[in-house]
Amino acid sequence: MGSVKFGIKEAAEFLRDHDKFLIISHANPDGDTLGCAFSLCGALRNMGKKAKTICADEISKRYDFMKAALVPQEDFEPETILTVDVADRKLLGSLNEKYGDNVDLAIDHHVSHVDFAENLCCEPHAAAAAQTIYKIIKELGAPMTNEIAACLYVAISTDSGCFKYSCVSPETHLIAAELLHYDFDFSGLNYIFFDMKTKARIALEEQLYSGIEYYCGGKCAVISVTSEQMSGVDIEDGNGVSTIPRQIEGVAVGVVMKQRSNGWKASLRSNSSVDVQKICSVFGGGGHERAAGCSFVGISLEDAKKKLIAEIEKVLS
Amino acid sequence: MGSVKFGIKEAAEFLRDHDKFLIISHANPDGDTLGCAFSLCGALRNMGKKAKTICADEISKRYDFMKAALVPQEDFEPETILTVDVADRKLLGSLNEKYGDNVDLAIDHHVSHVDFAENLCCEPHAAAAAQTIYKIIKELGAPMTNEIAACLYVAISTDSGCFKYSCVSPETHLIAAELLHYDFDFSGLNYIFFDMKTKARIALEEQLYSGIEYYCGGKCAVISVTSEQMSGVDIEDGNGVSTIPRQIEGVAVGVVMKQRSNGWKASLRSNSSVDVQKICSVFGGGGHERAAGCSFVGISLEDAKKKLIAEIEKVLS
């Protein structure tokens, strides 16, 4: 049975009518799910309601600033369960078992959303779930603060590549314009999320760049990363490595081979009209048209690359 | 004698009252000066006026798409000279001698603008001069097209680091929201200007990363680039090299030493409260608080670095 579908008004009404909220972010949390959770939690608290946030996985220190959106509050037993930016109950990670069946309202923006909550407010055209949260907070008339605006801004900017990607719409920019009327250091935050590189990341990139291999007349670029190269690099530094080869001019398919305990995991990205999901499915993998992956167990890096590139060649030639 | 100061309305009125425009971009042209020139030229042509653009230096192929904003027109003898995004007549490059004294209207956004034109429309709060051009085109009531919107968008996005930098204001996002109502591939353009790296650039970065030196307990990072390393790298690839060291976590002052025929040119960038203009002025250089440069003539790289780092140490310790 599917979720009851809510618009912005119904979602706001639901929040107004309930209390003692537990707001759950998805596992392996990113800026959007955290920005949604902290901004909505802060707004609900500012309305005099009880609200707290949880996430199955550890939160990177880069998001510490978001805590400032929450006025202190005594602990309480939750009565209303919300999820934000969660496309599927499986993405709740270790919290799925306890909460997956009991979500009262899911607020999301994924086209691929799989119903799990009793009620769903989903705007699949939104660049970030935080666009919807912003509109719900406005509809609620909850007091907006500089700190809440900062959470919403980072949620939107991190999910849209700082307004770079095709998911951005006029509404995305209109909301950003509204948020910039509040006082927070958006350019300092953008520096941290987009420009800053740790020394470990620089060292990793240097190693990766020196090992780029080109195939198919330069239309395919492959980078291989050993476990040793990734050790000592924290998750934030490791993120985005998969996108490096596809950023090279003329490259239609970018491949990153990451060493695993039992073999190699291939992450494929494509720019042009190549469907990498199809290529990965040959090896039992999956994903999306532009981003997909597959695993090679118990074979050498050279053999794994040979098999994969043979499939890529079929498409690119 | 200073320029007569125009607001948006006066600038639009001036353009309405004149014809046969020559629109000049600054030398070493960037996205803003070119986007301003092509969008304004296109809009004036769409109003039935004669207009053309020139620039002292070669234009990167990346901006070829801008030509689509111009409906074809027969050549003509210019009567009205405009400059766009030109802060100082010296920045006209080789066109300064011929046109520097005869500019009828300068449209700019630099706080540091040095009057040279008869009339000036300058909005120093704008993230890009294209924000002002957009408002003038609206005020003119000139027909907007998808192609003109693309020029204005790229001008704004390239000058603001795709909305990342502190120069961005609510107005910047409001204009972007308006522009995205037109039909052009903004995410494809953003890929070209922000994400795509040529193979030569990747090779250059690999070399530069391997040569990063840290000083002042990691608060200063220095990269040195020889002429040999830069040869074969086109201008677009070379751009942005100056910002690499300051992007490293914990680095307050980033230095790039570029080899010149007669010595070394140092480009300094700072993130925090360090005034690099002051540091460079010790060596007869100049610039801004966060971005400055100076030259070391007739001495070795090692000696140049020693002198510069001694000054940086005074500030950072």
Question: B17-56, pLDDT tens digit by residue?
Answer: 999 999 999 998 999 999 999 999 999 999 999 999 999 9
Three-state DSSP at B47 gives coil
Instruction: Give the residue among A218, A226, A241 at the shortest CA–CA distance from B200.
Output: A218
Residues of B in contact with A248 (CB under 8 A): 196-199, 202
Would you list the domain boundaries of chain A?
Answer: 4-195, 199-316
Is B196 within 8 Å of A249 when comparing Cβ atoms?
Answer: yes
Residue B235: the pLDDT is: 64
Residue A286: the pLDDT is: 80
Residues of B in contact with A186 (CB under 8 A): 166, 168
Classify domain A199-316 at the CATH topology level: Diaminopimelate Epimerase; Chain A, domain 1 (3.10.310)
As a whole number of angstroms, the distance between CA B291 and CA B197 comes to: 24
Residue B271: the pLDDT is: 80
> Is A199 in CB contact (< 8 Å) with chain B?
yes
Residues of A in contact with B248 (CB under 8 A): 196-199, 202
Name residues of chain A where pLDDT drops below 50: none
Query: Confidence class of residue B237 from pLDDT cuts 50, 70 and 90?
Result: low
Tokens 């940086």 map to which residue?
B312
Instruction: Give the residue among B197, B195, B264 at the shortest CA–CA distance from B233.
Output: B197
Instruction: Give the residue among B146, B121, B155 at the shortest CA–CA distance from B29.
Output: B155
Q: Which residues contact A44 (CB under 8 A, 6 or more apart)?
A: A15, A21, A50, A51, A142
- Within its chain, how far is the Cα of A305 from the centroid? 28
Measured torsion, CA atoms of residues A265, A269, A275, A279, in degrees rounded to the nearest 10: -20
Homologous superfamily (CATH) for B4-195: inorganic pyrophosphatase (n-terminal core) (3.90.1640.10)
Instruction: Give the residue among A244, A259, A165, A192 at the shortest CA–CA distance from A31.
Output: A192
The end-to-end CA distance of chain A, in Å, is 46
* Minimum CA–CA partner of A201 in chain B: B248
Residues of B in contact with A219 (CB under 8 A): none
> Is A196 in CB contact (< 8 Å) with chain B?
yes
Residues of B in contact with A157 (CB under 8 A): 163
Best of B249, B251, B270 to disrupt the A interface (most A CBs within 10 Å) is B249
pTM above 0.95, yes or no: no
Residues of B in contact with A206 (CB under 8 A): 206, 209-210
ipTM: 0.89
Please count the residues of chain A.
317
Among positive and negative, which fits the CA dihedral A129, A132, A136, A141?
Answer: positive
Three-state DSSP at A270 gives strand
Residue B313: the pLDDT is: 96
- Strand intervals (E) in A46-173: 51-54, 80-84, 105-108, 119-122
Of A164, A197, A248, the CB nearest to B197: A248
- Which amino acid, A161? G
Instruction: Give the residue among B109, B122, B218 at the shortest CA–CA distance from B167.
Output: B109
> Is B295 in CB contact (< 8 Å) with chain A?
no
Question: B142-196, pLDDT tens digit by residue?
Answer: 989 999 999 999 999 999 999 999 899 999 999 999 999 999 999 999 989 998 8
As a whole number of angstroms, the distance between CA A109 and CA A265 comes to: 28
* Minimum CA–CA partner of B210 in chain A: A206
Residue pair A267/A246 in contact (Cβ under 8 Å)? The answer is no
> Is B125 in CB contact (< 8 Å) with chain A?
no
Report residue B317 as tokens.
Answer: 């310790």
Distance from CA of B67 to the nearest CA of A (A): 22
Residue B238: the pLDDT is: 62
Report residue B258 as tokens.
Answer: 């570029």
Distance from CA of B161 to the nearest CA of A (A): 9
Query: Confidence class of residue B230 from pLDDT cuts 50, 70 and 90?
Result: confident
Residue A296: the pLDDT is: 96
Burial zone of A211 (CB within 10 Å; 0-12 exposed, 13-18 middle, 19+ buried):
middle
Residue pair B259/B226 in contact (Cβ under 8 Å)? The answer is yes
Query: Confidence class of residue B233 from pLDDT cuts 50, 70 and 90?
Result: confident
Residue B239: the pLDDT is: 64
Residue pair B190/A164 in contact (Cβ under 8 Å)? The answer is yes
Is A166 within 8 Å of B187 when comparing Cβ atoms?
Answer: yes
Question: A122-170, pLDDT tens digit by residue?
Answer: 999 999 999 999 999 999 999 999 999 999 999 999 999 999 988 999 9
- The partner residues of A296 in beta bridges, in order of sequence, read A264
Residue pair B247/B267 in contact (Cβ under 8 Å)? The answer is no
CA angle A101, A105, A108 (to 5 degrees): 105
DSSP A90: G
As a whole number of angstroms, the distance between CA A286 and CA A277 comes to: 5
Residues of B in contact with A272 (CB under 8 A): none
Residue pair A259/A280 in contact (Cβ under 8 Å)? The answer is no
Best of B62, B183, B202, B271 to disrupt the A interface (most A CBs within 10 Å) is B202
Residue pair B90/B129 in contact (Cβ under 8 Å)? The answer is no
Is B202 within 8 Å of A191 when comparing Cβ atoms?
Answer: no
Is A209 within 8 Å of B206 when comparing Cβ atoms?
Answer: yes
Report residue A120 as tokens.
Answer: 């769903």
Query: Confidence class of residue B236 from pLDDT cuts 50, 70 and 90?
Result: low
Residues of A in contact with B194 (CB under 8 A): 164
Average pLDDT, chain B: 93
> Is A227 in CB contact (< 8 Å) with chain B?
no
Report residue A220 as tokens.
Answer: 């395919």
Residue pair B251/B219 in contact (Cβ under 8 Å)? The answer is yes
> Is A125 in CB contact (< 8 Å) with chain B?
no
